Amino acid sequence: MVTVRFIGAGDPQKRWMRRPLPSWLPPYLQAAPLWLILGFFLALPLAMIVTVSFWDYDFAQMYPGFLTMNYTETLGSWVTWKTYLNTLKYAAIVWAITLVIGFWVAYFLAFHIRSAAMQMVLFLVCTVPFMTSNIIRMISWIPVLGRNGLVNGALIAAHIVPQPIEWLLYSDFAVVLAMVHLYTLFMVTPIFNTLMRIDRALIEAARDAGASAWQILVNVILPLARPGMAIGTIFVVTLVMADFSTVQVMSGGQSASVALMMKNEMSLLQYPAAAANAVILLIVVLSLVAAILRGVDIRKEL
């Protein structure tokens, strides 16, 4: 005799019977925390900056509205264009120097140091300066480059120059030198990571085929290192474009950058004008990053 049991609506087992979730829903639930974080800490502040950039203001307060005055005044001023060109000049010079230094440091660590333990030790030595504040590392150049600093003292003592060199400090040279010191590691790290991923069999095959060391470097290593160089370029360029303290201190107030201009506007309570400059700077930086990503695919390095 067969007993058939019907599960009614009031049966306790009914509560354990759950309908499966739609197949499209789990990915969205997994990404929801990240979207909330990015929305609150990235999208919302950007939206506020864009909104404020269209407001009016005076010496005391801001007035909500939709005015293009801040953008027309910013883009219509030759001083602003000159400041942007000066900032791009710093970014280009610092990028070129850090790229050369960063590649050769990473190349030495990846191909000339055989022991993995020694590679890590030397790489950690490169990171030691980053255990102190950027401001401290920047200011430390002042007693080195000053009129009575270590460099001028050594040059005069060696009878190389008759009197102190004035342009070592409070000049574009000092700004570039300090930025290179601050941001070189941001170029070394991604390039070193890329070089360590290169299959050594490719280099051995090129060497067996009769390629010289220079040909291996140009035709094998450099093309494979492009993703790391692109990532380092993004890091360095964005950091230089947003740096105002180095420009202010190391130039002695004789030079300017977009970030320093925004800092001065905020100190004068000109927040809408500073917001408009921030939006323009963001567009410029994103355009540079987009150009880099268009030429190099960095997804495999992320």
Strands (E) in the chain, as ranges, are 56-57, 62-63
Q: Please report where in the chains the tokens 């390629």 appear, as a residue.
A: 211
Q: What pLDDT sits at residue 11?
A: 52
CA distance 67 to 48: 15
Structure confidence at residue 6 as a pLDDT band (50, 70, 90): very low
Given a contact cutoff of 8 angstroms between Cβ atoms, the answer to whether 152 and 168 are in contact is yes
CA distance 250 to 240: 14
Q: What would the pLDDT profile of 223-234 be if each residue is shown by its tens digit?
A: 999 999 999 999
Enter the tokens of residue 182: 């601050």
Q: What pLDDT sits at residue 122?
A: 86
Q: What would the pLDDT profile of 66-118 be if each residue is shown by its tens digit?
A: 888 889 988 888 888 999 999 999 999 999 999 999 999 999 988 888 788 88
3-state secondary structure of 62: strand
CA distance 86 to 80: 10
Q: Which domains does the chain have, with CATH numbers?
A: 78-301 (1.10.3720.10)
Nearest CA to 259 out of 272, 271, 245 is that of: 245
Q: What would the pLDDT profile of 129-149 be if each residue is shown by its tens digit?
A: 777 888 888 888 888 888 888
Given a contact cutoff of 8 angstroms between Cβ atoms, the answer to whether 70 and 273 are in contact is yes
To the nearest whole percent, how much of the chain has pLDDT over 70? 92
Q: What would the pLDDT profile of 143-169 be if each residue is shown by its tens digit?
A: 888 888 888 888 888 888 888 888 888
- How many CA atoms are closer than 13 Å to the CA of 298, on its beta-carbon side? 21
Q: What pLDDT sits at residue 191?
A: 93
Q: What pLDDT sits at residue 301?
A: 59
Q: Is 34 exposed, middle or buried (0-12, 13-18, 19+ CB in 10 A)?
A: exposed
Instruction: Determine the average pLDDT of the residues in 16-34.
Output: 76
Nearest CA to 170 out of 205, 201, 132, 139 is that of: 139
Q: What would the pLDDT profile of 229-286 be if each residue is shown by its tens digit?
A: 999 999 999 999 999 889 998 988 888 899 999 998 888 888 999 999 999 999 999 9
Enter the tokens of residue 214: 């220079």
Q: What would the pLDDT profile of 55-68 be if each residue is shown by its tens digit?
A: 988 877 888 888 88
Q: Is 84 exposed, middle or buried (0-12, 13-18, 19+ CB in 10 A)?
A: buried
Q: What pLDDT sits at residue 135?
A: 85
